[in-house]
Amino acid sequence: MLNAEQRQIQDLVRRVAREKVAARANDIDRTGEYPSDMYALLRELGLFALPFPAEYGGTGSSVAACVAIEELGRVCYNTAYLLAVQWTPFGAILAGGTEAQKQAWLPQLSSGEKRASISITEAQSGSDVSGIRTRARRVDGGWRIHGQKVWCTGASVSDYIFVGAKTGDGDSPSGINLFKVDRGTPGLQIGRKEEKTGARGVPSHPLFLDDVFVPADHLLGSEQGGFKLVMEALNTARPLHAARGVALAQGAIDHAVDFVKNRQAFGQGIEAFQGVRWMLADMVIQTEAARSLVYRTAQMVDDGVTGQALAPMAAAAKCFATDVAMKVATDAVQLFGASGITTDYPINRYMRDAKVLQIIEGTNQIQRNIVGNALLGRVPR
């Protein structure tokens, strides 16, 4: 299924993951400290460039990006997350930025020289993106943004954050736009890091925006087109988040296989029990199905499929692969018995990280809404 170049990337990242990343995974999860060393490693390897088009310094392959996420996330979810955080705003810039914005911002993100995050969610408004209350009003030379955000992942380490805010007087979703807010801009305050059960190595923070001034050219694209951009960015990034699910499922299988080969019960290795073998077989069957769906959807992105042609497939891939991650990781913990509950073994972090994946980037109920609405020809609300 992978071409020669994608296979080369797979070999390289698999080797690096085993030799340099795996040993750091437990520590990153335990301490919850941002892995700057892993960021530097990904940068040195040029991995941030994978999904970016060649004209902006990239490799131009969403499939290759999924492969890299899968190989890293199989051993360390948090290291793979560093790629995913960078790749979400990239989708928005690519979908709606002016040519000048693309030229200015994409190469920096593609090389890893700069880090970016995206901040849409607010306390009263997560799934319902259209309900955000942060507002931007036009002033001389630019915009002033006022409001509060929650769950901005990467905020404290990012050079800039794309903040969702409504413009104009109305409350319609079409008034939502994204604004580039540089770290250190007066009026922007980054709140205390959330204490999370999963995805612990990449910090998420609330943001407080008190009449933050941004220049006119920090509005991404043109006014009133923003909501579409947000949706397009989420669509193109969804196969990448789905690949994180495949990564967790595959990693959980790797650990489970190691464990059952070494555990005895009733005078024999537990691998001899049909009940154990069938569980492992089902874990593999589901993971392979998820992998196929993810690669197929990533290929659609690479083929330039967008909008409503992409949305239900991207949603299906994210939903299925992350539900598989949760099921497979939970079954892996079951196979570990009590050892799966202690922190002596890494398997429970796969389950904690999988739960996060079912919630972020649109919950899996919302993904099902997208698939159902497309099937029945309903206009999404």
Write out the residues near ligand FAD by the rule CB under 6 A: 117-121, 126-127, 151-153, 196, 199, 204, 356, 359-360, 362-363, 365-366, 369
296 or 352: CB nearest ligand FAD: 352
70 or 361: CB nearest ligand FAD: 361
Least distance from ligand FAD to the Cβ atom of residue 304, Å: 26
361 is catalytic: yes
59 or 88: CB nearest ligand FAD: 88
Cα separation of 177 and 146, whole Å?
A: 13
Which of these is catalytic: 70, 71, 232, 361?
361
127 or 292: CB nearest ligand FAD: 127
59 or 134: CB nearest ligand FAD: 134
Least distance from ligand FAD to the Cβ atom of residue 201, Å: 11
Residue 83 CA from chain centroid, whole number:
8
Least distance from ligand FAD to the Cβ atom of residue 82, Å: 13
Cα separation of 33 and 63, whole Å?
A: 29
Least distance from ligand FAD to the Cβ atom of residue 363, Å: 3
Nearest-CB residue for ligand FAD: 126
SS3 for 132? coil
Pick from 81, 75, 85: nearest CA to 14: 75
Cα separation of 9 and 248, whole Å?
A: 19
Least distance from ligand FAD to the Cβ atom of residue 293, Å: 21
Pick from 359, 366, 321, 278: nearest CA to 73: 321
330 or 369: CB nearest ligand FAD: 369
Long-range contacts of 192-199 (CB under 8 A, 24+ apart): 193/156, 194/151, 195/32, 196/32, 196/356, 197/352, 197/355, 197/356, 198/77, 198/349, 198/352, 198/353, 198/354, 198/355, 198/356, 199/77, 199/78, 199/81, 199/153, 199/353, 199/356, 199/360
Burial pattern 205-226, b for ≥16 Cβ within 10 A else e, equals: bbbebeebbbeeebbbbeeebb
Pinpoint the alpha helices (H) of 263-378.
Answer: 274-302, 307-336, 347-359, 364-376
Least distance from ligand FAD to the Cβ atom of residue 279, Å: 27
Question: Who's near 305: CB < 8 A, 6+ residues apart?
Answer: none
Pick from 284, 293, 295, 199: nearest CA to 249: 284
Q: Which residue has the tokens 């890091």?
A: 193
Q: Which residues are catalytic?
A: 361
